[in-house]
Structure 1
Amino acid sequence: MKIINSVLLICGLAFLVIFMSLLEPQNLLGTEYDVRVINGFTNNSSLPLVIWCSSKENDLGGRALQEKDDFSWRLRTNFWGTSNHFVCTMKWDKKRKRFDAFKIPRDVQRCGPFRKCSWLVREDGFYFSNDEVNWKKDFSW
């Protein structure tokens, strides 16, 4: 009886994996997201925007961004639809802000069908877009 139950369990799991891959094949290997942070300041030629991003498993390092420069990376969720939580620290002049650049519960839907998660950092705050045309202010410095 134990052998039959084990075989049924294995067959059930195999069916579930095959069924999920037919519905959304990208979920079998995970889903890719593109994350981009853009310096949207209008005049900071003498003072760059400094960015440093990391997750528990990935330190992406830091950059000094001049006007219109960007810092971007691609990530992949795992089979279960989870991923690293990416946090970025921004520094400009005397201002400093740490924010969630990518967080699955918040971003899985709002990054849109093309899975594009873009941030535009301006003098008055941080703006989010999934098409880089329509920007919505998420929070201030």
Structure 2
Amino acid sequence: MSFFNKLIILLVVLFTVLWEAPCAISSRNQIGEEFIIPFQKTHVVVYNFLEGLNNFTIHCMSKDDDLGSHVIGPEDNYDWGFRSNIWGTTLFFCGLSCPYGSGTFDLYKGERDRERCLVCQ
């Protein structure tokens, strides 16, 4: 195969990839059409709006990261950022305790939240 034929094939492949890429990484959400950059950093913010100006303690972790325990004061917040994995299976779960009770919940699930928020509040 001549150099010219290889160049033509390369250009066709490159054109096809560039043409299809925006379709593969865009999605529609509540705001409308949005361009999603793969592996874009997600920022999570947890606010304390408990009545009675009470503190609460939160301990979040994923399979790979333990963020430790944090006491969140009245009208304060705790935040962190991360990049979701390529399979969309990133999971951050948190234990929360306050004067009203305690529990554990999934704060961020890649399958559910990946296209829903980049700043999750």
Instruction: Classify the TM-score, shorter chain.
Output: 0.5 to 0.7
Matched-pair contact (CA < 8 Å) for 1:57–1:84? no
Paired AA for residue 37 in structure 1:
V
Counterparts of 2:115 and 2:90 in 1: how far apart (Å)? 16
Which residue in 2 is equivalent to 1:84?
Answer: 90
- Work out which of the residue numbers 87, 105, 108 in structure 1 matches 2:111: 105
Higher relative contact order (CA 8 A, sep 6+): 2
Q: Percent identity?
A: 25
Counterparts of 1:87 and 1:39 in 2: how far apart (Å)? 17
Where does structure 1 differ by over 3 angstroms across 4 or more consecutive aligned residues?
none
The runs of 5 or more residues in structure 1 that have no matched partner are 1-10, 119-141
Counterparts of 2:111 and 2:90 in 1: how far apart (Å)? 11
Figure out how many residues of one structure are paired with residues of the other and give that number: 96
- With normalisation by structure 2, the TM-score equals 0.66
Matched-pair contact (CA < 8 Å) for 1:55–1:84? yes
Coordinate RMSD, CA, aligned: 2.6
Q: Which shows bigger deviation, 50-59 or 34-43?
A: 34-43
